[in-house]
Amino acid sequence: MTRAVLSIGSNLGDRPAHLRTALATLGDSVRVVSGVYESPPWGDADQPAYLNAAVLAVDPAATAGDWLARARAAEEAAGRFRDPRRRFGPRTLDVDVVAVWDDTGRPVLSDDPELTLPHPRAHLRAFVLRPWIDIEPHGRLPGHGWLTDLLNAEPLAGDALELRPCPDLPLESDP
């Protein structure tokens, strides 16, 4: 069995609907979904705020590459367009594979340019760590440490304060 943590985010169009598209595309593999958080854009400030959440998914047969294919399928289902001129530009849906564990519970490590695991910038992003803590309060980012320690360390402590919980926007895997 493999287990994956995915980060989902949207800042264009019907943001909650795009997050639900990700969950619908991931289907029965979804085990737990975090609360939704609104966050300022990261990397390119000239765009709308994001809605972000974390997903814990499990599939006995999935490889790390399968999780990436599912992430891309969800983005495509939400009409994602990748503008090569804006790496961190606005998007209907962004689904990142943050970390994957194999059937023995060991983290899957990869330096493949298509899928680096764990995600190379997850430890720097409060909008990834905070929702992940919702679903795994004692979670660890492989190679980096406890999620709570990472979130409370500089420079993320300030970023964490900019996250706004959105309890009125629950996500459910069933439409």
Q: Is 70 a catalytic residue?
A: no
Q: Is 80 a catalytic residue?
A: yes
- Selecting among 3, 15, 70, 80, the annotated active-site residue is 80
Report which residue type is found at 11. N
- Selecting among 3, 20, 70, 94, the annotated active-site residue is 94
- Selecting among 91, 125, 130, 134, the annotated active-site residue is 91
Q: Is 94 a catalytic residue?
A: yes
Q: Is 31 a catalytic residue?
A: no
Three state DSSP letters for 9-58: EECCCCHHHHHHHHHHHHHHHEEEECCCEEECCCCCCCCCCEEEEEEEEE
- Selecting among 3, 15, 59, 96, the annotated active-site residue is 96
Count other Cβ atoms within 10 Å, centred on residue 58.
15
Cα separation of the two ends of the chain:
26
Count other Cβ atoms within 10 Å, centred on residue 7.
25
Question: Is there a cis peptide before residue 118, judged by omega within 30 degrees of 0?
Answer: yes
Residues forming the active site: 80, 91, 94, 96
